[in-house]
Amino acid sequence: MVMHAKDKNQSRRAFLKTSVVGTGGLMLSFNWLSAQTDTWEGKEVRALENVRLSGHIIINADNSVVIYSQNPEIGQNVKTSMPMIIAEELDVDWNQVSVEQADLDTEKFKRQVAGGSQSIRKSWPVLRKAGATVRALLISAAAEQWGVSAIELRTETGYVIGKSGEKLSYGSLAEAAAKQKIPKKVSLKKAKDFSLIGKSVMNVASREIVTGTAKFGIDTQREGMVYARLLHAPGFGQKLVSFDAKQALQIKGVTEVFEIDNKVAIIADSTWTAIKGGEAIKTIWSKPLTSEDSKVQRKTLLDMVNAKGQNAKVNMGNVEQGFKKADQVLERTYEAPFLPHNCMEPMNFFADVTDEKVELYGPIQTPENQRRAVAKLLKRSEDEISLGISRIGGGFGRRLNGDFVLEAALISNKIRKPVQLIYTREDDMTAGVYRPAVTYKFKAGLTDGKISAYDLSGAGINMRNTVRPGTWPQASVPNFKLESQSLESHVTFGYWRAPTSNFLAFAEQTFVDELAEIAKKDPIQFRLESLKQAIDAPFGKVRYEPLRMIGVLKLVAEKSNWETKKKGLYRGVSAYYSHNTYVAEVVEITIVGGQPKIERVVVATDCGIVVNASGAHNQAMGAVVDGIGHAMYGEMPLENGVPQHRNFDTYKALRNSEAPKVETHFVKSQKAPSGLGEPTLPPAAAAFANAMYAATRKRLYSQPFSEQGVVLQ
């Protein structure tokens, strides 16, 4: 494909040559491609009429266009928004376009990952260049046919147009286009000329979803396929001692039961028999571990953050001196529980291992990593392994971890049959890969109403890092320290939507609300002054742009009418930078029967250029409600290593009647797009908690809030 650079250094050099020229927009040098003596991996004639022009694009003779969406679709809408970027530069009518999910193909695509809110940000230049290059090839083919110079030609929604209005469809030019030389330079559109990017474009899978024809991983059915279920240890750290499968094997349809990787596998002819088979097995496990207990761990984490001088990640100035000189000092501790992801589609995967090949298919956020891991596990070459990506019923970070892919591969390797592994909800919720429990201790000194010393100590379970150096309020504070510690545990770690930020933002932004109150300042004003300090007289370097944070704070103040107070309406504000995106939120509540009713959440986001307005609203809105919902109810306590919730009867998820109205606003920008699947989640809980304080004068220091008597109205 177009962007397939063999030499990383060459690729970088090419990228750096990007420059703005004249009136023609952006020019890009494809010199690494010309260095490849005109070979172009994607240039293959698929059929006489259909020419595949790059890894991403097929142009058919009838002028219809197929765009392959390279990244896994977990609900973040990349299957719509990534092809939109290509279509914009290719200059085709969106109605001409159909979208297909690409399989894992590291020859054609780079970074086929759904994670870190990076799909759009990382692929933005690649997809634009892919579209623009193919467009240039089509123009070049038309120029050749007409015997004119390419400079005289332009394009319009799927046609190359000549000087006197003559036109040729892309479809009629496709075959010739594939034989053209890759141009050294292509011009990209100026942001102001975008006709598709920025519009509201409907999810390309909508019709399939609403008619029940969209196929998720769990819907996989193949000839000769068997179903597998795995029983895992009831508690973390327990080992399988023995099992009795006599009863299970008497169930019609249960064919095999065996131990695999400290679990018991049940093989059956249907999902239901596999589920029932699992219930009929008697297992004996080693003794539960009393250390793997939420109460014990919570106390240990607290002791850890109270112990001084542990693993400083940042240490500037002298915080102790700063506290001594400060007018006021505030110290607060915040605690978060384990959280399961609870994707609506439980974990599952298909594997078919034979002597010749390994076929993998299903819902996974990190296909490339899993192919590598399966190759290592089964001692097979990666060339023998194919991996197809299904539509995915929710990711939230759970499917970055491929434990279930390896399990499916192991089972199929053993029984040498095509296998669909399926987790029941109980298997899924109790299997771990949780957002780790974490505790933060903040201490800050105020001098003349400004933060003069700031010391944050975090301790999390199996968390390599609990803090985020380089983000606010770093650079605004002369004495600044961040410490992080990890408590080792058998509980498996998982990235959960907006890892680290999802709770750190709550702690930080409620702490800052208290600081503003002590400083007798409006909480937005307090933040703005601090950000101004980071611009005018920064203490060291940071990796965010304070000016853009100021921008979203001002936008949220305007859109929420922050200055206008209304009787009985209580407001809280919060602002946070994550995934290269700036977000400020205001939550408005009223009190009904002594409990909060969220009237409105106003969200201001600066994520650079918005690719799909409707998709962007959906992401921003969904993540806010997700953040408030989990802050309200989310919790997975462990007793002697055993997860205490197994299903949605006791695990409380936010329901429709509790979902607040979310208003989303985006900063108008011509900067390249940044993340959007996650960044509106982190500030939400703090904005709500700060509104709660405004209403009740009571602070919230731990999640879930429901444990502290908060009930949403």
Partner 1 sequence: MDLQVNGKKYTIDIDPQTPILWVLRDHLKLVGTKYGCGIGQCGACTIHFNGTAVRSCSIPVAAAANVAITTIEGLSEKGDHPVQKAWVDLDVPQCGYCQAGQIMTASALLSQNNKPTEEEIKLGMSGNICRCSTYTKINKAVKQASENL
Q: State the residues that interact with partner 1 by CB under 8 A.
A: 73-77, 200, 202-203, 205-207, 209-216, 218-219, 221, 227, 252, 270-272, 275, 342-346, 391-396, 424-426, 614-615, 618-619, 621-626, 629, 647-649, 653-657, 659-662
CB-wise, 142 or 254, nearer to partner 1? 254
Two structure tokens written together for 443 = 């201490």
Q: CA 107, CA 116: separation in Å to the nearest integer? A: 23
Two structure tokens written together for 365 = 């956020």
CB-wise, 114 or 553, nearer to partner 1? 114
Minimum CB separation of residue 256 from partner 1 in Å reads 18
Minimum CB separation of residue 619 from partner 1 in Å reads 8
Shortest CA distance to 472 belongs to which of 573, 578, 604? 578
Q: What 3 state SS string does 424-488 have?
A: CHHHHHCCCCEECCEEEEEEEEEECCEEEEEEEEEEEECCCCCCCCCCCCCCCCCEEEEEEEEEC
Minimum CB separation of residue 362 from partner 1 in Å reads 14
Cα torsion angle, 64, 69, 73, 76, sign: negative
CB-wise, 51 or 616, nearer to partner 1? 616
Other CB atoms closer than 10 Å to residue 60's CB: what's the count? Answer: 18
Minimum CB separation of residue 691 from partner 1 in Å reads 19
Helix (H/G/I), strand (E/B), else coil: 56: coil
Q: CA 543, CA 34: separation in Å to the nearest integer? A: 35
Minimum CB separation of residue 429 from partner 1 in Å reads 9
CB-wise, 230 or 410, nearer to partner 1? 230
Minimum CB separation of residue 629 from partner 1 in Å reads 7
Largest CA distance in the chain: 84
Two structure tokens written together for 596 = 């909060």
CB-wise, 420 or 533, nearer to partner 1? 420
According to DSSP, residue 252 is labeled: T
Q: 11-45: b or e for each residue (b if 16 or more CB lie within 10 Å)?
A: beebeeeeeeeeeebbbbbbebbeebeeebebbee
CB-wise, 288 or 499, nearer to partner 1? 499
CB-wise, 106 or 206, nearer to partner 1? 206
CB-wise, 90 or 636, nearer to partner 1? 636
Q: CA 416, CA 353: separation in Å to the nearest integer? A: 6
Q: CA 180, CA 184: separation in Å to the nearest integer? A: 12
CB-wise, 126 or 392, nearer to partner 1? 392
Residues 6+ apart with CB under 8 A from 320: none
Minimum CB separation of residue 632 from partner 1 in Å reads 12
Q: Is the CB of residue 678 less than 8 Å from the CB of residue 498?
A: yes
Q: How many helices (H) and strands (E) does the chain have?
A: 18, 31
CB-wise, 487 or 681, nearer to partner 1? 681
Q: CA 361, CA 346: separation in Å to the nearest integer? A: 15
Minimum CB separation of residue 427 from partner 1 in Å reads 10
Minimum CB separation of residue 269 from partner 1 in Å reads 9
Two structure tokens written together for 588 = 């408005």
Minimum CB separation of residue 112 from partner 1 in Å reads 18
CB-wise, 216 or 539, nearer to partner 1? 216
Minimum CB separation of residue 666 from partner 1 in Å reads 16
